[in-house]
Amino acid sequence: MRTLLLLGFISIALLSYNSAFAQFNASIMHDDFALLEKNVNVRASSLIHRLNATKDTLILSSHKKINRVYSVNMNYEREVQANINATFFKVPLTKLSQGKHVFVVVQSPLRIIFVIKILKDNTIILPPNEIKLTALQKEDH
């Protein structure tokens, strides 16, 4: 009887933990602009690749020179293509289409590959009867 009670208690605890974790994970993903799936290969450890705090910019840095970076989207189109030849570079993600993007960073002779998923479309949708908002400049008197 004790074993059955203990088993029931453990089952309820695991179910409530999974539910709480799923809600927490969904709330994090809901607020993020993009997700980064890092390359954890030992040979890729020379490249530091991360997202900034707002997760709308990819930051690349390395002690070795980064030659090029490009990305291929889900339609096999290149949306990012840059010759860098520097040790630090920022890639704005706001111009990328929504979906999965495979990034390739070239550090000759290495090709370091990782994935960024753009979760939100960066377009602003206005109601049909609204006019586009503009900023007015204050006149100095």
pLDDT of the chain, 141 residues: tens digit per residue: 666 555 555 656 555 555 444 444 444 445 788 999 999 999 999 999 999 998 999 999 999 999 999 999 999 999 999 999 999 999 999 989 999 999 999 999 999 999 999 998 755 545 555 555 444 444 555
If asked whether residues 54 and 109 sit together in one domain, one would say yes
Asked whether the bond before 109 is cis by omega within 30 degrees of 0, the reply is yes
Number of H helices, E strands in the chain: 1, 6
Tokens 């070795």 found at: 64
With respect to residue 37, please indicate whether it lies within any of the assigned structural domains: yes
If asked whether residues 21 and 49 sit together in one domain, one would say no
pTM, 2 dp: 0.66
- Find the domain containing 73 and state its range: 33-118
If asked whether residues 47 and 73 sit together in one domain, one would say yes
If asked whether residues 20 and 51 sit together in one domain, one would say no
